Amino acid sequence: MAEFANLTLETAGRHVWRVRPAADQLVALARAVKEEGGQLIALWGSDDRPLGAGYGLHAAFMTSLGMLWATVALAVEDPAHADLAAVFPQAGRMQRATHDLLGIRAEGAEDTRKWLRHGAWPANAFPLRKDYAAATVNEPDAYAFVRVEGDGPHEIPVGPIHAGTIEPGHFRFTIIGDRVLRLEERLGYTHKGTEKRFEGMDLATGARLAGRVSGDSHVAYAWAYCMAVEQAVGAEVPERAVWLRALFLEMERVANHLGDLGYLGNDVALAFGFNQFWKWKEDWLRLTARMFGHRYLFDSVVPGGIAVDLADDGYDLNRMTRRLDDEVAQLKRIYDEHATLQDRFANTGIVKPDMAARLGLTGLAGRASAQAWDARMQFPQPPYDRLAVNMATQRKGDVLARAEVRFAEVFESLRLIRDILKHLPGGAVRAELPAVAAVREGLGWVEGWRGEVVVAVRISADGRLDRVHPHDPSWQNWPLLEVGILGNIVPDFPLINKSFNLSYSGQDL
Amino acid sequence: MATHLILQKILKTGRLSEPAPAADPAMRTREQELQAEILKVFGQAVAIRCVDAGSCNGCELEIHALNSPQYNIEGLGVKFAASPRHVDVLLVTGPVSRNLETALRRTYDATPEPKWVVAMGDCGCTGGMFGESYASCGKVSNVIPVDVEVPGCPPTPTALLQGILAAVSGGH
C-alpha cells in the first residue's frame, strides 16, 4: 500500500515481523490490519531514554503474515500516541495500563481512567520509567465506575476477595430483577510489579519469573520468554528440546482442561463430574511429577533448551493418554446426556461471533465463538510445523461451546502427546546461549491453553534484561465476559466466569 | 440415560481416598497457647478461608487439588468456607500486593478469634521471586500475623495438608 511505502518488514523470528512506523502512521496501520481481518493482540510501552531516544510504544498485531510487531518512537517530553481503541477496542485497557506504568498517553481515547494503578503509587509517578523513585502511598482506590441511573436497577459489588478459591478482582453488577443489565470489572488487585522485577535480571532467572506470570500457564510463558531470548541472541535450540517443550505445553493444556471440565460440572451441581475429572487431573499431575520432577513442570523450560529430559520412551505417559481417551469419552457421554447440565450450559453466557470478532475475543474462548485462530495451526513454531494440529471450533459462543472446545482439545492434545513421543528426536536438550555485547530484542509467541501468550524481551548490552513484557490473552477476553453475562441471571455468573477461566495475575502483572 | 451411567461409573471407580499425612510441626512459626478444649474441637473440624493476596495462581492450583477425591479433606474435618466470618483458619497465598493490603487486613479483622493464619508458598513465606517493591509488600507476615508457613513453589497438596494440620493441632 502506498501509504506504507516507507516501511520495511524485518523478520524477527518464525512468523514474526518487525516494523517501525512513524507515530502518525500507527492508526492507519491498525486500520489496514483490521480491514484484512487481523486483530490487535498486545500493546505495551518502553522507556527508551537509556538508548538515547524517548519512549517506545509497541503493538503486536495478528495478520495473515503472522505476528506484526510495530514499534513507534515517542517524544521524551509528554510521550503520547493516537488512540488505537477506536480501531481495536481491546486496546483500551492496555493503553490505560501503559499510561499507569509509563506515563504514555493515548490521545483522543474515550476512557482514560486508571487501570493497574489503585492507590499504591501516586498518579504522577510511573513505575516502569527507569528513574522511578516515588515513595509508596496507600490511598483509597476511588475508581469511577459507570453508574446506571433511574428506577429499578440495583447494584451488587463483589470482591476483590471472592467466596471461592479464585484470584481477586472486583465485579460491579447492575441488575434489574434477576437479570444482569451491566457488569463492570475492576482488576489490577494482584499487580505485584512483575515487569519491573525483570529489570536487571539475568536471562536464566528471567525464565523462572516469566513462568510465574500466571502459574496455570507456566510452560506457555516460560517457552514464549525463552523463544524471545533465543531469537534476540540468535541461539539455536536442540531439536529434542523443542519437541519436549511441545510435550510440556500439551501436558499443561490437558491438566488445565481436565480441571475446568470438572469445575464446570461442579458449578451446575454435578459433583460427580468434579470428582471424576479431578481424580484424573490428580493422577495426571502425579505422573508429570514422576516423569519430570514437578507437578506443573515449573522451571523445566530454560533459555537454550530444557532442564529435564525424558528418561525413558514415555511408556507410562503413552498408556495414560490411551486411558484418558477412554475415560474422558465416557465422561463426555454423561455430560452430553445429563439434562440439567445441558440445560444450564446451553444458551448461557453467549458471545456471538460478530461481537467476538469486533472486540477481539481470542484463544479457547474465541474458538468457541467461531474465531478460528490457533497459532499451533496457522503459524506453527517448531515442532508444530511437523505435527498437523486440528483446531477445535464452535459457533454458539455459550458455556456449552466453551466446554465442547475443551473436550475436543483434550482429545487432540492426547493425540499430539503420543505423536510427539513417537517422533521425538534424540540428542542434546540444552545449548549454551551466545554472549551478547549489544542491545538485542526478541518476541516469543506460544499458543497456551487459554490462548496466545506473547513475551517481548529487550536485553541490554551487559547481557541482562532491560525490559520484558509478558502478554496474557485474558487482556482481550476479560471485556467479553462483561458482554457474555448480559441478560443472564446472577447465579449463572460463576458458571460463565469459569467457562472463560481468565487469568487475573496474567493481566494484573 | 445419564443417571444409569453415573451410578455405573461411581461403582466402578470405588473409593479413592488415601490416608492423611501427619501434621508437620516444623512449619510452625510461633507457639500458640490454646485452651485444651478449643484444640479438642479444632482437632476434629476446621473451617478455612482462602485469600489470594496476589499470588500467580500456582498455589491456588494445589488448593483445588486438595479437593480431589484422593485427599478426602472433608473426611478429615477440613472444610473451605466462603466467608472469613465462618472460619478458624485463613490460608493466605502471596506475595501480598499493595493493591490488596487493605483487603487482607480487613479479612483478618473479620475472622473471629481464636484464629490461625497459614501462609502458603515461597511468596507467602518470604516474598519469593517478587519480593518487596513499589507494588508488593512481600511475605504475608509483613501484613498480618502468621502461625504456620508452608514453603514450596507451589507446595504439594500433601505439604499443604501437613501445614493446615500443624496450625490446628497446637503443640500436639
Residue B172 has pLDDT above 60, yes or no: no
Distance CA A33, CA A41 (A): 11
Does one domain contain both A95 and A202?
no
Whether residue A153 lies inside any domain: the answer is no
Chain A nearest-CA distance from B35, in A, is: 30
DSSP A116-180: S-SSSS-TT--TTSTT--PPP--------PPPPPSSS-EEEEE-SS-SSSS---EEEEEEETTEE
Question: Cβ separation of A296 and B154 shorter than 8 Å?
Answer: yes
- Search chain B and give the residue with CA nearest A215: B58
Whether residue A177 lies inside any domain: the answer is no
Average pLDDT over residues B52-80: 92
The shortest CB-CB distance from A120 to any of B13, B59, B98 is to B98
Task: Give me the percent of chain A exceeding a pLDDT of 90.
Answer: 93
Please identify, among A73, A107, A141, the residue that sits at the C-terminal boundary of a domain.
A107
Does one domain contain both A80 and A227?
no
Whether residue A459 lies inside any domain: the answer is no
SS3 A185: strand
Average pLDDT over residues A362-366: 97
Beta strands in B42-170 (DSSP E): 46-52, 78-80, 89-93, 116-120, 148-150
Between A124-128, A242-246, A331-335, B74-78, the lowest mean confidence (pLDDT) is in B74-78
Residue labelled with grid coordinates 458471545: A351
Q: Chain B contacts of A135, Cβ < 8 Å?
A: none
Does one domain contain both A91 and A214?
no
Question: Cβ separation of A132 and B134 shorter than 8 Å?
Answer: yes
Q: Structural domain of residue A499, as residue ranges?
A: 194-454+478-508
Q: Chain A contacts of B68, Cβ < 8 Å?
A: 275, 278-279, 281-282
Beta-carbon contacts of residue A135 (< 8 Å; ≥ 6 apart): none
User: Taking a C-beta distance cutoff of 8 angstroms, is the pair A288, A433 a contact?
Assistant: no
Model pLDDT for residues B102-125, shown as the tens digit of each residue: 999 999 999 998 899 999 999 999
Q: Residue A106 is placed in which grid cell? A: 493515548
Does one domain contain both A315 and A445?
yes
Chain A nearest-CA distance from B38, in A, is: 26
Does one domain contain both A297 and A433?
yes
Partners of residue A155 on adjacent β-strands:
A174
**What pLDDT was estimated at residue A315?**
96
- DSSP secondary-structure letter at A44? E
Distance CA B60, CA A215 (A): 9
**What pLDDT was estimated at residue A407?**
98
- Report which secondary-structure segment, H or E, holds A43: strand A39-47
Please identify, among A50, A83, A107, the residue that sits at the C-terminal boundary of a domain.
A107
Q: Are strands A66-74 and A55-63 parallel, antiparallel or unpaired?
A: antiparallel
SS3 A189: coil
Q: Reduce the secondary structure of A424-490 to three states and give it as a string.
A: CCCCCCECCCCCCCCCEEEEEEEECCCCEEEEEEEECCCCCEEEEEEECCHHHHHHHHHHHCCCCEH
Q: Chain B contacts of A215, Cβ < 8 Å?
A: 55-61, 154
For the domain that residue A90 is a member of, what is the CATH number?
3.30.460.80
Question: How many contacts (CB atoms, under 8 Å) link A and B?
Answer: 164
Distance CA A23, CA A26 (A): 6
Residue A134 has pLDDT above 90, yes or no: no
Domains of chain B in start order, with CATH, are: 34-168 (3.40.50.12280)
- DSSP secondary-structure letter at A108? T
ipTM rounded to 2 decimals:
0.94
Interface test with B, best of A116, A128, A192 (most B CBs within 10 A): A192
The Cα angle at residue B38 between residues B33 and B40, in degrees rounded to 5: 110
Does one domain contain both A214 and A331?
yes
User: Taking a C-beta distance cutoff of 8 angstroms, is the pair B39, B80 a contact?
Assistant: no
Beta-carbon contacts of residue B135 (< 8 Å; ≥ 6 apart): A120, A121, A127, A191, A192, A193, A196, B97, B98, B99
Specify the number of domains making up chain A: 2
Chain B nearest-CA distance from A15, in A, is: 30
Length of chain B: 172
Distance CA A152, CA A154 (A): 6
Chain A nearest-CA distance from B27, in A, is: 21
Whether residue A171 lies inside any domain: the answer is no
Question: Cβ separation of B52 and A165 shorter than 8 Å?
Answer: yes
Question: Cβ separation of A167 and B55 shorter than 8 Å?
Answer: yes
SS3 A203: helix
Please identify, among A88, A107, A126, the residue that sits at the C-terminal boundary of a domain.
A107
- Search chain A and give the residue with CA nearest B59: A215
The shortest CB-CB distance from A279 to any of B69, B128, B133 is to B69
Model pLDDT for residues A64-107, shown as the tens digit of each residue: 999 999 999 999 999 999 999 999 999 999 999 999 999 999 99
Question: Cβ separation of B2 and A193 shorter than 8 Å?
Answer: no
User: Taking a C-beta distance cutoff of 8 angstroms, is the pair A212, B129 a contact?
Assistant: yes
Between A215-224, A385-394, A424-433, B39-48, the lowest mean confidence (pLDDT) is in B39-48
**What pLDDT was estimated at residue A384?**
96
Q: Chain A contacts of B67, Cβ < 8 Å?
A: 274, 278
Q: Which amino acid is at A51?
A: L
Average pLDDT over residues A389-418: 97
**What pLDDT was estimated at residue B171?**
47
Q: Residue A165 is placed in which grid cell? A: 478459591
Whether residue A151 lies inside any domain: the answer is no
Average pLDDT over residues A132-152: 89
Task: Provide the pLDDT confidence category of residue A25 given band limits of 50, 70 and 90.
Answer: very high
The chain-wide mean pLDDT, for chain A, equals: 95
Return the C-alpha torsion angle B116, A186, A504, A130, nearest 10. Answer: -100
Model pLDDT for residues A151-168, shown as the tens digit of each residue: 899 999 998 998 888 899
